[in-house]
């Protein structure tokens, strides 16, 4: 009995990916500069976790939530800037009150004021209060966690590969992180604790894609000693492109389901992950791989490794 095999790319695919480096590098450079500019000028839309304050998720008892009316009601309470946004169902709305002077007592009083003002038309679905001390600790812990994780990943890459491959992997990983921060700044998606988890996951996903491509390049370098490096990279990318498309597509489909049906709480995580996966695939092919050409990697770059392995086998 013969079994049908589903393929997203033919076995003999021969796409010259390296010729696109003339366009991918200027594009990535502009995108990276734009990400830095957005972060410095606009900043991130910090959630209650990091900025502190009160978050209420309300549902209209009668029908569609009237955002304009709710904004007018909350502005009369004298609580400063109050953000009112629709989310999820057309009956749902979120109200976010910034930190109030006076500590936790004042914050609780602010939440009580809002609830008393809207209780006739809205029911409370979720309430959350985060004080300035807690939010500051979360910012510090989240930043330390991200930095230490990135340093551990970079150290692994440096010891795992020859220096050209390590530098390429490091640049690709930092490229993805930079674009993800720019994505948060541009879209104004709430940046909270789940966003930290998304960034750490994106590091792992990006590293996974990069390692697969680099391992195949290293294997092909040892096999073809006289083939130009650009052709070797194209051969390697073509060999793994089917696997990359399959895994990325299935992951994106799962994340799309989370975006559509997972609710407001994990939407920022899901959207960031979707962007990170796309950026990871792009960087592993069009950023990481071409760097090897610019770093002057040659077919004999691994020649010093081969004799050492041969001697080790003889001594064994």
Residues 185 and 258 in one domain: yes
Give whole-number Cα distances, 304 to 162, 223, 301, 309, 313, in Å: 11, 14, 7, 9, 15
Q: Can you tell me which residue has the tokens 């009083």?
A: 109
Q: Residue 174: what pLDDT?
A: 87
Residues 202 and 255 in one domain: yes
Q: Residue 210: what pLDDT?
A: 86
DSSP helix/strand/coil, 310: helix
* Each residue's pLDDT expressed in tens, for the chain with a length of 316 residues: 444 455 555 556 677 888 888 898 899 999 999 999 999 998 888 777 677 777 888 888 887 887 788 888 887 877 776 777 777 777 888 888 777 776 667 777 877 888 888 877 888 888 777 655 555 666 677 678 778 877 887 787 777 777 888 888 888 888 998 999 999 999 988 887 788 888 888 888 888 888 888 888 888 888 887 788 888 888 888 888 888 888 888 889 999 998 888 766 678 888 999 999 999 899 988 988 888 888 877 666 554 444 444 444 444 4
Instruction: Decide: 106 and 118 in contact? Cβ < 8 Å.
Output: no
Residues 204 and 114 in one domain: no
**Can you state the angle between helices 229-261 and 267-283, rounded to 10 degrees?**
170
Q: Residue 5: what pLDDT?
A: 53
Residue 89 lies in a domain: yes
> Among 102, 130, 158, which residue terminates a domain?
130
Residues 192 and 233 in one domain: yes
Distance between CA atoms of residues 12 and 14, nearest Å: 6
**Interior/surface letters 82-91, b for 16+ CB within 10 angstroms, e for the rest:** bebeeeeeeb
> CA dihedral in degrees (228, 229, 235, 238; nearest 10)?
-140
Beta carbons within 10 angstroms of residue 173's beta carbon: 25
Residues 122 and 216 in one domain: no
Pair of tokens at residue 177: 């992180």
Beta carbons within 10 angstroms of residue 21's beta carbon: 20
Residue 98 lies in a domain: yes
> Among 130, 154, 185, which residue terminates a domain?
130
What value, to the nearest 5°, has the Cα angle with vertex 191 and ends 282 and 208? 30
> Among 101, 130, 159, which residue terminates a domain?
130
Q: Residue 7: what pLDDT?
A: 59
Instruction: Decide: 192 and 48 in contact? Cβ < 8 Å.
Output: yes
Domain range for 113: 53-130
Radius of gyration of the chain (CA): 25
* Model pTM above 0.75: no
- The domain that holds 258 is classified in CATH as 1.20.1640.10
Residues 145 and 287 in one domain: yes
Q: Residue 38: what pLDDT?
A: 92
């Amino acid at each position: 009995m013969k079994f049908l095999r589903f393929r997203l790319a033919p076995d003999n695919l021969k796409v010259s990916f390296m010729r696109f480096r003339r366009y991918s590098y200027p594009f990535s450079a502009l995108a990276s500069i734009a990400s830095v500019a957005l972060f410095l000028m606009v900043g991130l839309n910090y959630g209650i976790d990091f900025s502190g304050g009160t978050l209420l998720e309300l549902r209209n008892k009668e029908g569609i939530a009237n955002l304009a009316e709710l904004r007018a009601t909350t502005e009369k309470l004298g609580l400063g800037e109050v953000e009112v946004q629709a989310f999820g169902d057309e009956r749902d709305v979120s109200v976010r009150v910034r930190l109030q002077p006076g500590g936790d007592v004042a914050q609780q009083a602010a939440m009580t004021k809002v609830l008393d003002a809207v209780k006739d038309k809205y029911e409370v679905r979720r309430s959350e209060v985060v004080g300035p001390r807690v939010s500051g600790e979360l910012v510090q812990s989240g930043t330390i966690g991200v930095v230490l994780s990135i340093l551990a990943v970079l150290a692994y890459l440096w010891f795992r590969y020859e220096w050209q491959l390590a530098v390429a992997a490091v640049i690709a990983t930092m490229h993805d992180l930079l674009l993800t921060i720019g994505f948060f700044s541009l879209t104004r998606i709430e940046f909270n604790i789940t966003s930290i988890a998304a960034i750490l996951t994106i590091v792992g996903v990006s590293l996974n894609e990069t390692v697969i491509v680099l391992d195949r390049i290293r294997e092909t370098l040892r096999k073809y000693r006289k083939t130009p490096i650009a052709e070797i990279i194209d051969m390697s990318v073509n060999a793994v492109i089917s696997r990359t498309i399959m895994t990325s597509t299935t992951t994106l489909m799962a994340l799309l389901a989370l975006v559509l049906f997972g609710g407001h709480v994990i939407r920022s995580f899901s959207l960031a992950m979707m962007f990170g996966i796309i950026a990871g695939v792009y960087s592993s092919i069009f950023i990481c791989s071409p760097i090897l050409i610019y770093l002057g990697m040659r077919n004999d770059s691994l020649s010093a490794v081969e004799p050492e392995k041969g001697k080790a086998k003889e001594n064994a």
